[in-house]
Structure 1
Amino acid sequence: MTTEAVTIKRLGAQGDGIAEGPDGPIYAPFTLPGESVALAVNKSHGTLMSVREASPERVEPHCRHFGPDGINGTCGGCTMQHASDTLYHGFKRDLVIAALKSKGLTPEVAPLITAEPGQRRRAVFTARKTEKDLLLGFNQAESHHIVAISECPIASPGIVSKLATIAKVGAAMAVNAEPFRITVLETLSGLDLSVDGIKKLDDRERRRTVEAVLGERGIARVSLNGEIIVEPVKPVIDFGGVSVSPPPGSFTQATAQAEEAMAKLVLDHLGKSKRVADLFAGCGTFALRIARKARVHAVEGEDKALKALDLAARNTQGLKPVTIEKRDLFRRPLMAQELKVFDAVVFDPPRAGADVQCHEIARSGVKKVVAVSCNPVTLARDLSILVAAGYRITSVTPIDQFLWSAHVEAVVTLEK
């Protein structure tokens, strides 16, 4: 390892500053373009030692866990608190532009729909039992070291105010000193805690967990590896006026505000479509909203999520018919012939994207398509399939719901 003085040239896709070293690029977290910095360099990785000449875009971090002066980020939950809003928002939008350009796509990209502090309703904490209590926080970047937190500016006040309660429940469940994860979802009826990384609980540990939950207020449910341990009340989330009780650990959008923005873009593009296919439908984020105006066929590979969607649709008055289908769309996509009966298709796949399904959408000729993605790279690949088949991109909207990170959502609308 050597110490080198370098100038940061640009930001990489993960938000790291990039300098040109004698043996190639050096990636340095917590640096900004134009800065003169001292790095401890190990191969292509640089650890920031000091900022000799700061960028005018460098700002004071919002959270003390991020690190002193934003130089040595300790928490690992955020990577870009040291960047001004102007630089940060441009970085997020540019991630989408660059991914599209790499596939020869140059549509107009709208300004970023921004995120604000205190909006995250879902957070994943790492926990570990110590001799005295429970360590609850986030893993330091590139490390298994857990940084205990007492504040979190990105998380909702409902989560932050219950950190002690979450730790109490975690301590009741901890069976040894091995680290485990607690995924926290703020719902309308209380916090939903989904724990994994603990193999099982014996009867005594289960009783201890139940007592810890019942002795506190604001916890709706606690589950372990998908099994409900205690559920004082059903967790409930709202999808455009439809109440849904998601299964333990089920995927939900990280912020309600971003979800609403995405849903509006989807619904506006669908317009007067009468029959819509919602692929990778989850618990019904889009399907249940679409059902206010159109018949929906919701396709999802996860059985419990699909059942939650179906139950919500059946128990809500005023919706158009909603049909469901359990199907692994990676291995068995909806075929072009099956898609021809629909006026529009919405798809929101995991980070791996939906290339196999997109080939079938392209062959189907369905008039309107909406692509929702959390990965600009696989999104660009999928869009290139549709564009090659004669679809025209009508809008691209980047959306930030993972504040001060290098992750960005996007909603893209297309027409045949």
Structure 2
Amino acid sequence: MTLTIERLGHRGDGIAHGDGGAPVFVPLTLPGEVVDGEVEGDRMPAPRIVTPSADRVKAPCRHYKACGGCALQHASDGFVEQWKAGLVTSALAAHGIEAPVLGVATSPAQSRRRAVLSGRRTKKGALVGFHARASDTIVEVPDCQLALPEIAALLPMLEKLTQTGASRRGELSLTVTWSGAGPDISVTGGRELDGPFRIELAGFAEQHGLARLSWDGETVVERHPPAQSFDGIETVPPPGAFLQATRHGEASLLASLRDAVGGAKKIADLFAGCGTFSLPLAKTAEVHAVESGADMLKALDTAWRRGAGLKRVTTEARDLFRRPLLRSELAGYDAIVIDPPRAGAEAQSEEIAASSVPVIGAVSCNPVTFARDAAVLIAGGYRLEWLRVVDQFRWSTHVELAARFVR
């Protein structure tokens, strides 16, 4: 069947219409391309490109067709930027909201400081990499174009760790973070951590120069504190804690928040994590950091106490989904910074909408829930003044943004 790709879906597949107008999903294609192939159900799994788009480029990674880590390496950077900005504006338009997009900040290749890899034992040793598209097959990626070269260089060591720690049929999840002290590795899904195995892992960490090795949430050994720098403020996150994927992306989001809430003297930072934004903002403002994870708040507080020249930072462990800060508790703040997970923060947005806080700096990793929450704020009297798109998950369908709301 010959089809013409009309647009990309939110997962990056091309969408065409087949017999009877039913949608057909075609991977690794671009709008305007004519493709030919067999249709299986609602998919054309192996299309032949008859007429390529002017935006089609050669994928920079030789693993691209097999690996599921990237979805858009066949598209030009300019196309990807416009497409991701369009995901944001379309999500807002569904709620009748318009706002200027001030630009798209795209992180460079080989800049991811954190990667979640899969590991599985084999008859000959072990296999470590990313899953193939729509499959549980693991694809080796020795020259990955996403991760820092320092992380890519760890693959042989991770294979040895998988041989040591994986069960016969199980699969390890290996979260690898590059820190100022070297590799910080957190593993889940492996063997039970008994005494002899703990000693074996500690020796492994020493042999391979790991800063920290954690197993199913428990720190086995910390040879050196695996510090991360948040705008020059040294912080040691707990094992496997959330971090912005690239330093470039983190800096872009922080710069946007400073543009959004600059001049504020008292800020509430909601979903504060380990202090990615709280600590840098404390250079000019008092900050109250709210986060559900007590271990992350402990890391934040320790970093603040060791930091120099920072204004007062207070912390509060609180589940903002079940117990959002009430409008009465928000009184007296000059600004709010909010960076919820993908589910957004609908309940918290309702309380903010009823508050008198004059300005909000918002970060989001999901345009759909951001648009939903933005509609709540706008109904409460705020105006979405501007937003910036931040693409630190290069070549993926993932998109982040920062925005400024004013009352």
TM-score by length of 1: 0.95
Give the structure 1 partner of residue 13 of structure 2: 16
**CA–CA distance in 2 between the matches of 1:206 and 1:139?**
28
**2:124 alignment partner, one of 128, 132, 135:** 132
Q: Are residue 260 (structure 1) and residue 247 (structure 2) matched?
A: no
Q: Paired residues, what number?
A: 406
The one-character-per-residue Cα deviations of 1:75-128 (angstroms, maximum 9, x if unpaired) are 100000011112111111111111111111111112211121011101110110
**CA–CA distance in 1 between the matches of 2:71 and 2:200?**
37
Give the structure 2 partner of residue 164 of structure 1: 156
**1:237 alignment partner, one of 223, 228, 234:** 228
**2:98 alignment partner, one of 64, 85, 106:** 106
Give the structure 1 partner of residue 34 of structure 2: 36
Query: 1:85 is aligned with what amino acid?
Result: D
Give the structure 1 partner of residue 25 of structure 2: 27
**CA–CA distance in 2 between the matches of 1:48 and 1:383?**
40
**CA–CA distance in 2 between the matches of 1:106 and 1:157?**
40
Alignment of 1:14-413 (within 5 A): 14-23=11-20, 24-66=22-64, 73-198=65-190, 200-217=192-209, 219-413=210-404
The one-character-per-residue Cα deviations of 1:203-243 (angstroms, maximum 9, x if unpaired) are 333233222221123x2111112101122111100011111
1:198 CA drift (Å): 2.2
Find the residue that maps to 2:315 and give its secondary structure.
Answer: strand
Identity %: 44
Find the residue that maps to 1:191 and give its secondary structure.
Answer: strand
**CA–CA distance in 1 between the matches of 2:37 and 2:81?**
26
Answer yes or no: is the 8 Å Cα contact 2:165–2:191 preserved in 1: no
The one-character-per-residue Cα deviations of 1:171-211 (angstroms, maximum 9, x if unpaired) are 22223231121011111111111111225233333233222
**What CA RMSD, in Å, does the superposition of the two structures yield over aligned residues?**
1.2
Answer yes or no: is the 8 Å Cα contact 1:130–1:177 preserved in 2: no
The one-character-per-residue Cα deviations of 1:137-166 (angstroms, maximum 9, x if unpaired) are 011111111112211011111111222122
**CA–CA distance in 1 between the matches of 2:25 and 2:364?**
26
Query: 1:204 is aligned with what amino acid?
Result: P
Answer yes or no: is the 8 Å Cα contact 1:278–1:347 preserved in 2: yes
Residue segments in structure 2 that go unaligned for 5+ positions in a row? none
Range with bigger deviation, 319-328 or 45-54: 45-54
Answer yes or no: is the 8 Å Cα contact 1:172–1:205 preserved in 2: no
Answer yes or no: is the 8 Å Cα contact 1:122–1:184 preserved in 2: yes
Give the structure 2 partner of residue 7 of structure 1: 4
Residue segments in structure 1 that go unaligned for 5+ positions in a row? 67-72
1:21 CA drift (Å): 1.4
**CA–CA distance in 2 between the matches of 1:212 and 1:94?**
47
Answer yes or no: is the 8 Å Cα contact 1:37–1:48 preserved in 2: no
TM-score by length of 2: 0.97
